[in-house]
Amino acid sequence: MTTPEYIECLGRRINDNIPRLSQEDSQPIEKHLQVVPFELEIIRPEFERRNSELEKKIEQMEEEKMNLRLDIDVQKLETEKLRKRKNKAEEYLDSLKTDYKKLRLSMRPVGLGKTS
């Protein structure tokens, strides 16, 4: 003879091995599932932070590059000015040498340059 509890227990079993869940005990599957973030979602904040850092470095380097170009331009202008002044000084020196030679040659016939 079977008892009512045994019949109820048999009614809840599936394939004679797995107990069936009653509808009142069951919970929605969403409560049991956990949302696992996709790998890209995990990596994205780190990537964005690193990207931001690199963008700042690039901006700094571009600014430094521009400043260096300005420094180069200033140095070129100063070099060009010095080169022009040097050329003028060399021309003036050559002119003085020529004048000195002319003066020495003109003093010889007069005899002013000799001491006895």
pLDDT tens digits for range 12-62: 665 555 555 556 556 666 666 777 778 888 899 999 999 999 999 999 999
Which has the higher per-residue pLDDT, 86 or 110?
86
pLDDT band per the 50, 70, 90 thresholds, residue 3: confident
For residue 77, the number of C-alpha atoms closer than 13 Å in the C-beta half-sphere is 6
Asked if 32 and 39 touch (Cβ cutoff 8 Å), the reply is no
DSSP string of 47-115?
A: HHHHHHHHHHHHHHHHHHHHHHHHHHHHHHHHHHHHHHHHHHHHHHHHHHHHHHHHHHHHHHHHT-S--
Please give the DSSP secondary-structure letter assigned to residue 26: -
What is the pLDDT, as a whole number, of residue 87? 98
